[in-house]
Chains A and B, each alone.
Chain A
Amino acid sequence: MSFSERRLTRERSLDITDKLFRISWLFVLLLTMLAAVGYAALYSAAGGAPEPYAARHMLRFGFGLVLMLCIAMVDIRFIQRLSWVAWLGGVVLLVLVLTMGNVGKGAQRWIELGGMQWQPSELMKLVLILALASWFHRASWERMGNPLFLIPPLVAVVIPVGLILKQPNLGTAVITAAVGGAVFLAAGLRWWKVLLVVGAIVVAAPIGYTQLRDYQRARIDTFFNPESDPLGAGYNIIQSKIALGSGGVWGKGFLKGTQGHLNFLPEKQTDFIFTTLAEEFGLVGGLALLALLASIVLGGMLIALRCRHQYGRLVALGISMNFFMYVFVNVAMVMGAIPVGGVPLPLVSHGGSAMIMVMIGMGVLMSVHVHRDVEFDDRQREL
C-alpha cells in the first residue's frame, strides 16, 4: 500500500475540524465580495437606499452562506448516493410546475413556497449535474466510447430540457443543455461526437426557430434588429446600451447614474443590474466585476482539477460551468450581444430563490473541495 492510498483510507473519517480547515476560505471571500458588489448595485438601484432591495439581499446572502457551509460538511459520497433520487425529484417538480405552477409573463415557471417563488429549473440544473457525474463516475475511457453506455445520461439530459422548453423558458433550457454537454465532454466524450452534436445544432436551429413561442421569436428578431421595435422588446436593449455607453471609462460615479434612476432602464434591479453598475462605475468597474466573476468560475474549475475522484471533478466542473453560463448569458444580454432572456446575474441581481439556489450549488462545490481526497468504495471495482 502506497503512501497516498494510506492517506485516502485515513480520510474516510474526516472530523468537523478537518473539514472546516479544508474549506477554501479564499473562494468564500470571493463569493462574499460578489454579494457586496450586489449590495452596492441594489443600493443604487433603489435610488440610494438599503430598502427595498439591498438590505434583504445581504440578509439572504448571509443565510445562503450558512447553508453553503452546512452543505460543504456533508460527505460527497453521501451526495453521490442521492444523485439519481435528486434527479428524479427535480423532474417531478418540473412536471408539477407545468401542471400547477404559476404563470408569470406567459410562462409557467414558478412554485410558491415559503413566501418565495422557486423555479424548479434552477434546481434541475444542479441535480442533473449530480446525476451525470454519478453515471460517469465509474466510466473508463473505453466505456465512454460505447454508444449504448451514453444513452441513459443522454435521456437524463433530454427529459428535463424538454420539460423546461415546454414551460417555455428557452434561456434556461439552453443553459441546462450546455451544462450537461460540458459534463459529457469532461467525462471523455469522443471529440467527433462533440462535433457531430454541434453540427446538428447549427443545422437544426433555423427549424427550431419556427417552433418558438411568439415572444421568444420576438426576442430573437429584436436582437438582430433592436431599432425595429424601439418601444417594445427593443426598448430594454437600447436603453441598456445607452446606460452602458454613457458610463464611459470611469463611470458617472456611485449613485450618479441617470438612466437607471430615471426609470428609463427596466428591471434595473434584476436582469439589468450589471448595467446599473457599469453606468456608475464605467468600463473599469465593469471589467473588475467581470474579473471577479471569472475568478469564481476558474476557482470552481481549480477545485475540479484538484479533486482526486471523478465524481467530484465532474460535479465541480458542472457547477462552475453553470455559474459561468449565468454570467455569460446575463452580461451578453445586457450588452445586446444575445437575445434578452430573463437570466439574473448570480449573487448580484435581486431575487431570493435564485440566490439560495446558487449558494446550494456552491455548497456542493465546496463539499467536493472538502472531500477532494476521499476514497469511493467502488472505485477499483468499477474501472
Chain B
Amino acid sequence: MRRESQRTGVFTRRALVVAGVQVAALGALAAKLYQVQVVEGARYATLSDNNRISARLIAPPRGRLLDRTGAVIGGNRLNWRALLVAEQTGDVGATLDNLSRIVLLSDAERARIDRELRRHRRFVPIMVREFLTWEDMARIEVAAPELPGILVDVGTTRMYPYGATLAHVVGYVAPPAEADLADDPILALPGIRVGRAGMERVHDQVLRGRAGAVQLEVNAVGRVIRELDRQEGTQGQDVTLTIDLDLQKMVLDRLGDESASAVVMDARNGEVLAMTTNPSFDPGLFNSGVSQAQWVAWTSNRRAPLINKAAAGLYAPGSTFKMVVALAGLEAKVVNTSETVFCPGYLDFGDRRFHCWKKYGHGSVDMRGAIKYSCDCYFYEVARRVGIDRIAAMSNRFGLGVKLDIELPGARQGLVPTRAWRIAQGKAWNIGDTIVHGIGQGFFQLTPLALATMTARLASGRQVQPHLTRSIGGVTQRGARPEDWPGLGIGERGMQVMREAMWAVVNEQGGTATIAKLPPLPGATGPPVQMSGKTGSVQVRNVTREQRERGYKSENLPWEYRPHALFVGYAPHDAPRYAVALVVEHGNAGSETAAPIARDIMAATIARDPAKRQDRPRVAEGGRTG
C-alpha cells in the first residue's frame, strides 16, 4: 500500500502540473484573443467595417494575333465598363433603375444581368454595360451615391483592325458559355472572352494566358480605396500567322463582287499566305453582340458571308483535276506520256455518249496536249482504263478527300468517291461513273484549300500540309522549312510532264488560259516570271441533249444555275514558290472568269514575295500545334 500511495502521490503532482500547463496555455490564448480583438481590434475593425480587403482576379490581356510581318490583326483596346457587385447593393433593381437613367438598359440587357447575378456569387462583379463613352463614365461617377455597388473599371476588348478582310481566318471571340465556366476560373471574370471561331478558337488556351490577382481595399459602398497588392497574370502569348495581311487585302479586293474564294499558299512549306472568302463579315460585331437584323441579313444572303468557302465550301474540281487522273494512269502504267487518243468531240460508252467541251473534237492528243487543251475525251479514256479506286488513291496523295492539317475548326475534308463508298450507299458503281469522274465531275466535293494543296504538291513534289500558324510566343512552329515535308514519291518523269503541260496551258499558243499569262513585273530585269496553271468549269446541273442542240449558252442562265469557274496555278514555273487556287461560284467558265483573277492574284503575290517577309525563324522542338 505504501507503494500505491507513493505512486498516487506522483500522479497527483504530475497531473496538477499538466493541468497547470493547460490552464496557462488557455490563459495565453485568452490573452492573445484580448490582443487581437481589443488592442489591435480597432485596426481590424476598420479593415472589416469601412474598408474590406477584397481579392479579385484580374484578367490577363489576351495574346495578339499577328500576320507574318508582325501587323496586328487581332488585338486589344481599352474598354470602360460599368460593373455591379451585388453584395454591395441594397436593392439591385433600384440601382439598375438609377443607372438606366444615365445609360439606357434594355429589357434584354436587364434579363442578361439577372441571369449573370444568379450564376455568380454575390461578391463577383457582374458586367452591366461595356464600351462606355467618356461622357457616360463621368455621369456615372457623379451619380455614384445613388449607385451603390456600381464600379467603373477599364478592361480590354478584342479589336480586329482589318475586320472583314480576315474574318474567317481570325475568327472571333464571344462571352463564355455557362458550360465553359468550370474549365478555368478566369472565365468567371466580367467581360472575359473566349475564342469561338477561327484562330481565336484554335489557339484560345495560348492566347488566354493566366489570371493574376489583385488585393483591393474597398469601402462600404464598394469603391476601391487603394490597391494593396497586385500579382500580374501571365499575358496570353502572341500567335503569328502565316497570312500576309497586304496580300490578303489585295486578293479580297480583286475578288470584287463575286461570290468567290481564293487560297494562296507557299508551295514549298504549305504556309497559307492568303485565304479569302467573299463576301465576308465583321468579326468585331460578335464581341458586343450581333443584332437580330444583322444575323438575318447574313444567314439569308445566298452568297453565305458567314461560311469560310475557302476551307468549307465544297465543289467538284472539274478540269483542274485532270493532272491527278493522268498521274494515276501513268503510275498504273495503263497509259504513257506519248500515247495519243483521238478526240472526235465525244466518247461513246455503252448506250451513253460523253461529250468533250469542244463540239467537233481535238483530233489526236497526247498527254501534254490533253492538259493544254483540256481535252475531255482523253481523260474519259484514261479514267476508263485506270478505274476510280486508283484515281481516288492518287487524289488522296495530293491532299484531296483526306483530312488536312489546317487548324481551322470548320475546315471540311470533302469527298473523293470510291467504289466501296458507292456500294456502302447501296448503289452500284458503273464504268460510266468512272468516265465522268475522269474530268473532275460527279460526286467530288473538294474545298479550294484542298485544290491549293494539290497544286502546291504538284509544284513542289512535297507532301506539304496547309497551315496557318507560323509562330507562338515568338517560337516558330515546325513545318516552316521545306525540309520538314517529305517527298510525294511520284515518278519525276510524270510530274515533269504535268508541270510542262500546265505551263503550256498559260503560256503557249492555244492553251486554255493564255489570258492568265503574267504581265512583266514593273522594273524587273531578266527572264519574265511565268505561271503554270489549269482552268476548270463545273456544271451545277445537267445539260440536256435538247439544250445542247439548241445551242446552249451557260451565260444566259440565271446566276445560280451557271457553272462554277475554277483555276489552279503556281509560279514561277521553273522554281515554284507560290500556289493559288480560286473558285468563282457561278462564274461560268474557268478560262474567262477565274483565269484573269488568278493572274492578277499571282502577279501581286510575285511582286510582293511574302515568303521573304517573315520574322526570323527559330524552329521549335516537337510537332506543330493544330
Question: Shortest Cβ distance from A64 into chain B, in angstroms?
Answer: 23
- Of B16-24, B244-252, B275-283, the segment with at least 4 beta carbons within 8 Å of chain A is B16-24
Q: Please name all residues of chain A whose beta carbon is closer than 8 Å to the beta carbon of B18 when the two chains form the complex.
A: 182, 185-186, 301, 317, 321
B209 to A: closest C-beta gap in Å? 18
Chain A nearest Cβ from B292, distance in angstroms: 39
Interface residues of A, count at CB 8 A: 55
Nearest B-chain residue to A330, judged by Cβ: B29
Contact check, B14 vs A242: say whether CB atoms are below 8 A apart: no
Q: Do A188 and B32 have beta carbons less than 8 Å apart?
A: no
- Which of A244, A294, A379 is the one whose CB lies under 8 Å from B33? A244
Q: Are the C-beta atoms of B29 and A230 separated by less than 8 Å?
A: no
Residues of B within 8 A of A297 (CB): 22, 26
CB of B19 within 8 A of CB of A246, answer no
Q: Does A154 contact B (CB under 8 A)?
A: no
Please tell me if the beta carbons of A286 and B41 are within 8 angstroms of each other in the complex: no
A230 touches B32 (CB 8 A): no
Given contacts A310-B11, A324-B22, contact A290 B29 (CB under 8 A): yes
Cβ contact within 8 Å between A298 and B11: no
B33 and chain A: residue at smallest CB distance: A286
Residue of B nearest to A336 (CB): B36
- Interface residues of B: mostly helix, strand, loop or mixed? helix
Whether the Cβ atoms of B231 and A231 lie closer than 8 Å is yes
By the criterion CB–CB under 8 Å, are A249 and B11 in contact?
no
Q: Of A231, A324, A332, A383, which is within 8 A of B32 by CB?
A: A332
Cβ distance B148 to chain A, nearest Cβ, rounded Å = 15
Query: In the complex the two chains form, is A140's CB within 8 Å of B3's CB?
Result: yes
For window 45-70 of A, CB contacts with B under 8 Å fall at none
A70 to B: closest C-beta gap in Å: 27
- Is B43 positioned at the interface, with any CB of A under 8 Å from its CB? yes
Contact status A231-B37, CB under 8 Å:
no
Q: Are B29 and A335 in contact (CB under 8 A)?
A: yes
Pick from B14, B19, B23, B34: contact of A188, CB below 8 A: B14
Q: Is A73 an interface residue (CB 8 A)?
A: no
Q: Which of A215-236 contact B (CB under 8 A)?
A: 230-231, 235
B48 and A242 contact, CB distance less than 8 A:
yes
User: Complex: how many Å from CA A247 to CA B213?
Assistant: 28
**Cβ-defined contact, A283 with B229, below 8 A:** no
Counting chain B residues whose Cβ lies within 8 A of the other chain, the interface size class is 35 or more
Nearest residue, chain A, Cβ from B54: A264
CB A286 to nearest CB in B, in angstroms, measures 5
A287 within 8 A of B: yes
Q: Indicate the member of B23, B33, B228 with the most A CB atoms within 10 Å.
A: B33
In angstroms, Cα B43 to Cα A263, docked, is 20
Question: Does A360 count as interface, using CB distance less than 8 angstroms?
Answer: no
List residues of chain A with CB within 8 A of the CB of B10: 141, 188
Cβ of A248 under 8 Å from chain B: yes
Interface string of A240-270 (1 = CB under 8 A from B): 0111111111000000001100111000000
Of A235, A242, A310, A327, which one neighbours B47 at CB under 8 angstroms?
Answer: A242
Measured between beta carbons, the chain B residues less than 8 angstroms from A140 are: 3, 6-7
A283 to chain B: closest CB distance in Å?
4
> Is A313 in the interface zone, CB < 8 Å from B?
yes
| Cβ contact within 8 Å between B48 and A245 | yes
Residues in chain A near residue B47, CB distance under 8 A? 242, 245-246
Asked if B12 is an interface residue, CB under 8 A from chain A, the answer is yes
Beyond A245-B48, A258-B48, A304-B15, 14 additional pairs, beta carbon < 8 A: A141-B10, A185-B17, A231-B229, A242-B53, A245-B47, A247-B41, A283-B38, A297-B22, A301-B15, A304-B11, A305-B12, A313-B11, A321-B22, A332-B29
Q: Rank and list the top 4 A-B pairs by shortest CB-CB distance, nearest first.
A: A245-B44, A246-B48, A283-B37, A246-B45
A-B contact pairs, 6 of them (CB 8 A): A140-B6, A188-B11, A241-B36, A246-B48, A294-B23, A335-B29
